[in-house]
Chains A and B, each alone.
Chain A
């Protein structure tokens, strides 16, 4: 019986992130439009887009291989699994022991691996440029992310995200320099990984400025829908991750019963929405940087992460 309840909660978690993800993307787009003085689309627009795309026939390039057709589903699956490993409204999900923070980072890496391959499959110049740049960005963002994971896990004494969240909720942590460094680093990595300004522009179709969009240029129909959904999920994943580690308050630790879950869900929705608004604010207030400035930007994140870890190593005995 308990197992069934647990399974239902894990299923609810997976369904919740999937259902919420396009809403967050829609919210960010709406706030950005308002800040720019436009009326903007309804926050529900991404749902309509996804539905429309899934109904259309998929146009494949003549020499697209099976990899091109399976990659969208694989990318979506990897990111969905990773997103459902991040506790959203309650800690202690049954399958959270399947994978820890390092696994989440690696799953995102796998998704990127397949997307980059798919970008090269048709054999066009734009696909190649997108894949090459995406991998260059990732080869700096991923170590930075792992350093941040190290910082957080060293403080919590665990790489299990549920344990980390529970510990962060408790009184034992307090303010730490390392955590501050990790937060800044994580925000930088999140911007880079989600192809947001200033690293990449999710709205552009200007050839020379795009990275992520260049990779998926050849996709259409249901394949594009899967990729768009995966991007939305990834954005939600990063916001959830930041929220779960740095502002875990309100999350249900398993003792609250249905009321606890309700409070947890409300708090989660509020925190994610706040994260989305802040992202939109940040994106409208800054310009996109040149591709070759990105390594320096990400180098900052890597250095911050490393500094955080070294600080923890050094202060452990003091």
Chain B
């Protein structure tokens, strides 16, 4: 099994290495993306086979890397599940890329790194020692960075790439330290060795914090998210979909692998820390998403929110596990995994939609879009499904995972720790708040971009995208429906992962009649997406038919009413900014330090009135600006060191040597 996986990954890397050739062959983009899609398909099937087949994990060690350390690889249930997530998203992005790539000015810059990026993500999942893991992780960061700056002529993109590179470096450094602590002084870097020798409490605590820093910065936990809304939108849209939908899941895989698998039994406060961070991330992410006027940046911030939601559920799982509540832990973990899977589906779909809008109109600014439902009907329909799914509307898939999280929260009064007892209901409220705000956010996104009248000539001239793009979107939209109707299938699929990580799994769901989902007990709660869909379809179609038959189906077109004062100018419509204004007023001062500047000329003055809103990402001001200023100030001071005489340098070297020797002597 691993051999096939290795071949598939190798072919992905080769597809990238052939980059320079693409300029010379015709249909290069189509061939390269089709190849990537094929390799992803193979890996997807492998992951599915490993998940369904069960059995012992397949392992292999290759004489790669440092001479005395061979690289270990392994497929267990956890990596198999994430292989499914990664390669499903990867295959969809590759198929979408066949169409999207044609619109790019320099497709070669993307092609050369697209497949290696996919290969590196798969390598992270397969790695079974710290060295292979970090090497793959860093390749993943590097490939995605190259994709972010592929369109480097835009000044913003270079800035985004720079911030991303710095943050990725910090994250990998944290993981490196974490693995170093896990390996201990002996240096057993293979995951098996680490698992066999449990870390002491102090070390484990530091490793959890480092994993939160390392994997959390890649996933986009607040306040480590600052790079994400810059870098994800800067990449070409199908790469944005990969980064938001898939790479963040690889980060979550890293967190799961370190904290749930390698560290062993958790402490209760790990759960608390993860819960708190998740709650903060969820609510800040969605509030910032609500304020954005750049469609792709809005989606990136919404990724931050969903990562927060996933981490809330992971925190619950940790807390339950620490309290010995295995069944509840399994429920929370399954909810988190399911939400990860669902998010990879609908976020990829939404980024594809944003990409289709971008190719059709050349615009990402929502304030200049509008009315695309008439010009891009298929894209509009698929995007609507994505918006519904991410807003957790039943019977779509986003609702199922959030429903399971609520069920997990309702199991939590049995926890015995008092801090958790106060924290969990509060986090439950935060989860509910962010779900409601997400619905507002996506009503706004869809309403401004696809509904109403076009706000610019470009939006008016937009046309439907090609069949590869719409096909990829339609496939993902169909999967959003399927995953919402048959969640039982998915819950059973991730069963082995739960048994691996928390030692318990939910009871098998597939045997239940009508695809019902009963996670805990029949008297407690059940959900049936299929019946709900049937009910809704019946209740929609029956009244429509009855009214059309018995009453009338006559329609007439006329000018809009608008209380008698319809504005001709499309700019009289509600804009993205005005739609967000009530929310900004409710949460603004607290969450964004929003300031409104109104410049209203006096009566008689013919100047135009001006209105301007200042919004700030607080995390940037609180966490990053001080560090950046500190470094700048320190380097200014240190600058003096570069202009010393040779004698001073020798003195410095000598005193440094003496100081180090002294430290060593005292340490012994």
Contact = CB atoms under 8 A, between A and B. Distances in A.
A103 interface: yes
Contacts of B439: 109, 112-113, 135, 138-139, 142
A39 interface: no
A200 B553 CA distance: 32
Nearest to A151: B425
A81 B539 contact: yes
Contacts of B544: 73
A36 B535 CA distance: 41
B346 interface: no
B295 to A, nearest CB: 15
Interface string A54-79: 11111111110111001001101110
A158 B451 contact: no
Contacts of B429: 143, 146-147, 302, 305-306, 309
A138 B436 CA distance: 7
A291 interface: yes
Contact of A63 (B371, B416, B572): B371
Interface string B427-463: 0110011011101100110111001110000000000
B600 interface: no
B569 to A, nearest CB: 11
B525 A81 contact: no
B373 interface: yes
A260 interface: no
A121 B406 CA distance: 33
A78 B574 contact: no
B560 A73 contact: no
B552 A99 contact: no
Contact of B440 (A110, A135, A217): A135
Interface in B518-540: 522-528, 531-532, 535-540
A117 B447 contact: yes
Given A58-B556, A103-B394, A142-B435, A81 B424 contact: no
The B interface, classified by DSSP as helix, strand, loop or mixed, is helix
A314 interface: yes
Contacts of B384: 67
Contacts of A309: 425, 428-429
Given A116-B447, A136-B586, A306-B425, A77 B539 contact: yes
A132 B556 contact: no
Contact of A129 (B540, B559, B574): B574
Contacts of A139: 433, 436-437, 439-440, 583
B162 interface: no
A205 B563 CA distance: 9
B525 A159 contact: yes
A123 B573 contact: yes
A226 B543 CA distance: 9
B521 to A, nearest CB: 8
Contacts of A146: 406, 428-429, 432
Contact of A80 (B537, B539, B551, B561): B539
Interface string B309-327: 0000000000000000000
Interface stretch (B144-152, B221-229, B385-393, B614-622): B385-393
Interface string B393-427: 11000010001001101101110100001101110
B266 interface: no
A127 B574 contact: yes
B409 A310 contact: no
A282 interface: no
A126 interface: yes
B59 interface: no
A99 B527 contact: yes
Contacts of B388: 110, 113
B543 A122 contact: no
A269 interface: no
B436 A128 contact: no
Nearest to A298: B586
A59 B558 contact: yes
B425 A106 contact: no
A302 to B, nearest CB: 7
A143 B527 CA distance: 20
A97 B579 contact: no
Given A143-B429, A207-B563, A123 B406 contact: no
Nearest to B412: A313
A80 to B, nearest CB: 5
Contact of B451 (A59, A123, A207): A123
Contacts of A160: 523-526
A149 B258 CA distance: 36
B524 A154 contact: no
Interface string B555-578: 111111111001100101110001
B516 interface: yes
Nearest to A58: B555
A210 to B, nearest CB: 10
Contact of A136 (B406, B451, B582): B582
A294 to B, nearest CB: 9
B585 interface: yes
Interface in A266-318: 291-292, 295, 302, 305-306, 309-310, 312-314, 316-317
Residue from B374, B429, B528, B538 with most neighbouring chain A CB atoms (10 Å): B429
A187 interface: no
B557 A313 contact: no
A313 B441 CA distance: 32
B370 interface: yes
A98 B532 contact: yes
A129 B555 CA distance: 26
Contacts of B555: 57-60, 221
Residue from A139, A207, A225 with most neighbouring chain B CB atoms (10 Å): A139
Interface string B64-86: 00000000000000000000000
B552 A120 contact: no
Interface in A90-133: 95, 97-100, 102-103, 106-107, 109-110, 112-113, 116-117, 119-129, 131-133
A128 B583 contact: no
Interface in A188-232: 205, 207, 217-218, 221-222, 225-226
Nearest to A317: B416
A140 B585 CA distance: 13
Nearest to B582: A136
Contact of A109 (B421, B426, B436): B436
Contacts of A317: 416
B648 interface: no
A131 B579 contact: yes
A25 interface: no
B421 A218 contact: no
Contacts of B563: 126, 205, 207, 217
B327 to A, nearest CB: 15
Given A143-B432, A217-B563, A125 B551 contact: no
B609 interface: no
A163 interface: yes
Contact of B557 (A56, A62, A102, A121): A62
B526 A120 contact: no
Contact of B567 (A59, A73, A125, A159): A125
A65 B374 contact: yes
Given A63-B371, A132-B581, 20 more contacts: A58-B555, A61-B560, A81-B535, A102-B403, A103-B532, A106-B393, A121-B451, A123-B370, A123-B371, A128-B447, A128-B573, A131-B447, A132-B444, A132-B580, A136-B582, A143-B432, A146-B429, A150-B425, A313-B421, A316-B414
15 contacts: A73-B541, A76-B539, A77-B537, A97-B516, A107-B394, A109-B392, A120-B452, A123-B371, A131-B447, A139-B583, A146-B406, A150-B428, A158-B524, A302-B433, A310-B426
Interface of A: 54-63, 65-67, 70, 73-74, 76-78, 80-81, 84, 95, 97-100, 102-103, 106-107, 109-110, 112-113, 116-117, 119-129, 131-133, 135-136, 138-143, 146-147, 150, 153-154, 157-160, 163, 205, 207, 217-218, 221-222, 225-226, 291-292, 295, 302, 305-306, 309-310, 312-314, 316-317
